[in-house]
Amino acid sequence: MRNSILANLDLPDLAALGPCLERVTLRERRILQEPQKKVEYVYFIEHGIVSVRIVSAGSILEMAVVGHRGAIGASFLLGGHVVTHQSIVMVGGSALRIRVEDLRRVMEERPNIHDHLARYVQALLLHCAQTGLCGVRHELEQRLASWLCLTSDALNGQVLPVTHDYLSLALGLRRTGITQTLSRFEEQGLIRKMRGVLQIDQHKKLEKKACNCYAIIAGAYASPRKSEPGI
Domain match, 124 and 23 both: yes
Would you say residue 110 lies in a domain? Answer: yes
Would you say residue 65 lies in a domain? Answer: yes
Of 135 and 105, the structure prediction assigns the larger pLDDT to 105
Q: Is 169 helix (H, G, I), strand (E, B) or coil?
A: helix
Q: Please check the confidence at residue 225 and state whether its pLDDT lies above 90.
A: no
Domain match, 57 and 110 both: yes
Please classify residue 90 by burial: count the beta carbons closer than 10 Å to its beta carbon, then call 0-12 exposed, 13-18 middle and 19+ buried.
buried
Residues recorded for the chain: 231
| Confidence at 119, pLDDT banded by 50, 70, 90 | very high
**% pLDDT > 70, the chain:** 95
Domain match, 69 and 147 both: no
Domain match, 130 and 152 both: no
Of 159 and 60, the structure prediction assigns the larger pLDDT to 159
When pLDDT is averaged across residues 97-117 and rounded to a whole number, the result is 96
Domain match, 12 and 123 both: yes
> What pLDDT is stored for residue 227 in this prediction?
43
DSSP state at residue 196: T
Give the domain range for residue 201. Answer: 139-210
| Confidence at 55, pLDDT banded by 50, 70, 90 | confident
> What pLDDT is stored for residue 143 in this prediction?
95
> What pLDDT is stored for residue 224 in this prediction?
54
Domain match, 28 and 75 both: yes
The structure's pTM equals 0.91
Q: Which of 134, 150, 165 is the last residue of a domain?
A: 134
Q: What's the CA gap between 153 and 123, in Å, rounded?
A: 15
Domain match, 13 and 118 both: yes
Task: Work out how many domains the chain is built from and give that number.
Answer: 2
What average pLDDT does the structure give for the chain? Answer: 91
CA distances in angstroms from 117 to 41, 60, 184, 227, listed in the order given: 14, 27, 40, 16
164-194 pLDDT tens trace: 999 998 888 899 999 999 999 999 999 999 8
When pLDDT is averaged across residues 99-114 and rounded to a whole number, the result is 96
Would you say residue 114 lies in a domain? Answer: yes
Q: What's the CA gap between 73 and 44, in Å, rounded?
A: 9
- Closest-CA residue to 134 (of 122, 148, 144, 119): 144
Which residues are registered as beta bridge partners of 200? 191
Domain match, 127 and 197 both: no
